[in-house]
């Protein structure tokens, strides 16, 4: 990233995301209503346009505001069960729910 655009690395659930303002992400399902703001305090790294700051493990007084866009299902995956020589075959589908967010502000 050679631009002077602020960005941050956050931890949301069990995953980490590199975010800039205006980015859209899909995270694990979080129970919020559409339009609600989620403030994430688990900021691992921050860049304010001039200086990069690393947390140990998190930055103090840093946060990222995410706006909930909705909860939608992801792509379908197929799960197959099979037992040899017994004519047992079972195929099931699964669609994981995910929360869609837009980055509103990065406060470092």
Residue-wise pLDDT for 81-94, tens only, equals 999 999 999 999 99
Average per-residue pLDDT for the chain: 94
pLDDT digits 0-9 by tens, 34-62:
999 999 999 999 999 899 999 999 999 99
Which residue range forms the structural domain that includes residue 94? 7-107
CB under 8 Å to 97, separation ≥6 — which residues? 29, 71, 72, 73, 74
Q: Calculate the alpha carbon distances from 99 to 45, 70, 95 in Å.
A: 23, 6, 13
Residue 81 lies in a domain: yes
Number of domains making up the chain: 1
Biggest CA-to-CA distance, the chain: 66
Considering the domain boundaries, does residue 75 fall inside one?
A: yes
In a domain, 2, yes or no: no
**Token digits of residue 36:** 């609600």
User: Reduced to 3 states, what is the DSSP secondary structure of residue 52?
Assistant: strand
Query: What confidence category does residue 4 fall into, taking pLDDT thresholds of 50, 70 and 90?
Result: confident
| Band of residue 22 on the pLDDT scale cut at 50, 70, 90 | very high
Does 93 map to a domain? Answer: yes
pLDDT in tens, 59-77: 999 999 999 999 999 999 9
């Amino acid at each position: 990233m050679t631009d002077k655009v602020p960005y941050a690395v956050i931890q949301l659930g069990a995953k980490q995301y590199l975010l800039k303002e205006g980015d859209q992400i899909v995270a694990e399902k979080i129970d919020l209503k559409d339009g609600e703001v989620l403030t994430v305090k688990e900021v691992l790294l921050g860049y304010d346009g001039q200086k990069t700051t690393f947390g140990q493990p998190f930055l103090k007084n840093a946060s990222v505001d995410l706006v909930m866009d909705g909860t939608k299902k992801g792509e379908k995956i197929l799960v197959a069960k099979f037992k040899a020589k017994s004519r047992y075959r079972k195929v099931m589908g699964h669609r994981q729910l995910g929360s869609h967010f837009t980055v509103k502000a990065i406060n470092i």
